[in-house]
Amino acid sequence: MTVDLKELLKTHGLKATAQRLSILDYLIHCHTHPTAEEIHEAFPEISLATVYNTLEKLIASKLVIVMGDGLTRRYDYYGEPHYHIINKTTGEILDADNFDLHPLLDAARSASGLTITGFNIEVYGENQKKEE
Ligand SMILES: [Zn+2]
């Protein structure tokens, strides 16, 4: 994926600071849905507090989403809509874009009369039990 990150930040109303560029680039290319601590480990020169502040800005501008169960918050680049398949056995989160989400958003729009500004779909599953 080739994205002009400075331009991307600009179109979302954010100045392209070094921290925002680093963290956004990391989230675009990292498909494991890292925690803030993991992002901080990838960029030890950026303090954990700055990582959190940067993530908040990226979330507010709708470039990044946060998900999780309250204990573990995981972050994801969300410039390209997709849904998540969460393995409750392992905690692994898979990206999936093999399903057209627009009918759902159209239905939500006509049901509510709202302008739909975002969504986050999580599908849960467990490992299948092996037959003995
Ligand atoms: Zn994702």
**Chain segment 6-52, per-residue pLDDT in tens:** 999 999 999 999 999 999 999 999 888 999 999 999 999 999 999 99
Helix (H) or strand (E) holding 22: helix 18-29
Distance 8 CA to ligand 1 centre (A): 18
Mean pLDDT on 78-97: 88
- Is the domain defined by 5-77 classed in CATH 1.10.10.10? yes
End-to-end alpha-carbon separation of the chain, Å? Answer: 44
pLDDT at 81: 78
Distance 69 CA to ligand 1 centre (A): 15
pLDDT range class, residue 132, cuts 50, 70, 90: low
Distance 12 CA to ligand 1 centre (A): 19
Distance 132 CA to ligand 1 centre (A): 34
Distance 74 CA to ligand 1 centre (A): 10
Distance 80 CA to ligand 1 centre (A): 9
Distance 122 CA to ligand 1 centre (A): 10
125 forms beta bridges with: 87
Where along the chain do its domains lie? 5-77, 83-125
> For domain 83-125, which architecture applies?
2-Layer Sandwich (3.30)
Distance 125 CA to ligand 1 centre (A): 16
pLDDT at 1 over 60: no
Residue 7 CB neighbour total at 10 angstroms: 10
